[in-house]
């Protein structure tokens, strides 16, 4: 393999599933056994903010307990040992397994479970404690305006300007545990390929025939990614 200078790593639910978070945002339209329209839309939040807060407070407890797996740790190893390269992690996951594994340059494009955003002043409150309709914003002191910093359906993804820049610059694009035919992975790989990146997809099973990927690697990412990283490090 050649030497790369800018590596873009996109991760999705598949990488967290190997840490036991398999029920999260499942294909049956349920989000941790709740209907998406009850807990992950702006309308739901306006209608019943207490219910939505309860859901994320509970989810926060569950995600706080989860531990990173060898796929997350392989990214740490790559970032530490593959010197001279900018390596960014762009994740669709709202858990903090990348952080727990010691990854750097992480962009949570769907938001992250241990943050709430003040709808009055924009302050981001980082906490593993409960946030609810009584919570007072530490910046503007207004009560009851905190929203989980989770991108609800119909809302824009976060960090899209930075992501676009990283996509244009990258010479290696890795997609791990996310369907290569569904937004955003499908759009991201297309941009990366257009600007000349080598592109590799890691999935449990081959789910996509997206021809923007040069290579599809199938199997658990906890096995396939460490092997791939070791290959990269040999060069």
Coil/strand/helix, residue 204: coil
Please report how close the Cβ of residue 45 comes to Zn ion at its closest, in angstroms: 16
Point out the catalytic residue in the list 53, 98, 108, 110. Answer: 110
Residue placing its CB nearer to Zn ion in the complex, 121 or 233: 121
Token representation of residue 55: 């859901």
Residue placing its CB nearer to Zn ion in the complex, 140 or 233: 140
Would you give the binding string for Zn ion spanning residues 119-148, x where CB under 5 A is met? -xx-x-------------x-xx--------
Distances (CA, A) of 50 to 59, 77, 140: 14, 41, 21
- Ranges within 46-65 binding Zn ion (CB under 5 A): none
Residue placing its CB nearer to Zn ion in the complex, 5 or 138: 138
160 lies in the binding site for Zn ion (CB under 5 A): no
Annotation says 53 is catalytic: no
Would you give the binding string for Zn ion spanning residues 80-119, x where CB under 5 A is met? --------------------------------------x-
Long-range CB pairs of 158-165, under 8 A, 24+ apart, other chains included: 158/107, 158/108, 158/109, 158/110, 158/111, 159/90, 159/107, 159/108, 159/109, 160/109, 162/107, 163/90, 163/107, 163/109, 163/188, 164/191
**How many CA atoms within 13 Å lie on the side-chain side of 38?**
11
Please report how close the Cβ of residue 132 comes to Zn ion at its closest, in angstroms: 15
34 lies in the binding site for Zn ion (CB under 5 A): no
Residue placing its CB nearer to Zn ion in the complex, 89 or 118: 118
| Angle 40-98-34 from CA coordinates, rounded to 5° | 20
Please report how close the Cβ of residue 111 comes to Zn ion at its closest, in angstroms: 17
How far is the first Cα of the chain from the last one, in angstroms, to the nearest whole number? 7
CA–CA gap between residue 197 and residue 26 (Å, rounded)? 30
**How many CA atoms within 13 Å lie on the side-chain side of 20?**
7
Please report how close the Cβ of residue 172 comes to Zn ion at its closest, in angstroms: 40
Please report how close the Cβ of residue 141 comes to Zn ion at its closest, in angstroms: 7
Residue placing its CB nearer to Zn ion in the complex, 20 or 122: 122
Number of residues forming the site for Zn ion (CB under 5 A): 7
What are the residues binding Zn ion (CB under 5 A)?
Answer: 118, 120-121, 123, 137, 139-140
Catalytic machinery residues: 110
């Amino acid at each position: 393999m050649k030497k790369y200078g800018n590596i873009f790593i996109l991760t999705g639910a598949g990488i967290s599933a190997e840490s036991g978070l398999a029920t999260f945002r499942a294909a049956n339209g349920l989000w941790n056994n709740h209907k998406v329209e009850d807990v992950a839309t702006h309308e739901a939040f306006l209608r019943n903010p207490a219910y939505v807060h309860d859901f994320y407070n509970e989810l926060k407890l569950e995600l706080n307990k989860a531990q990173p797996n060898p796929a997350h740790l392989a990214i740490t190893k790559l970032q530490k040992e593959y010197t001279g390269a900018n390596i960014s992690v762009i994740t669709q996951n709202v858990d903090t397994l990348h952080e727990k594994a010691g990854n750097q340059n992480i962009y949570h494009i769907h938001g992250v479970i241990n943050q709430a955003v003040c709808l009055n002043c924009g302050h981001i409150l980082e906490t593993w404690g409960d946030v609810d309709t009584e919570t007072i914003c530490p910046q503007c002191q207004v009560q009851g305006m905190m929203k989980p910093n989770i991108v609800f359906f119909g809302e824009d993804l976060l960090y899209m300007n930075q992501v676009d820049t990283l996509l244009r610059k990258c010479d290696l694009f890795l997609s791990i545990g996310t369907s290569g035919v569904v937004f955003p992975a499908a759009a991201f790989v297309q941009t990366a390929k257009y600007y000349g990146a080598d592109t590799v997809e890691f999935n449990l099973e081959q789910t996509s025939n997206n021809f923007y990927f040069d290579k599809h690697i199938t199997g658990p990412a906890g096995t396939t990614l460490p092997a791939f990283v070791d290959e990269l490090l040999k060069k």
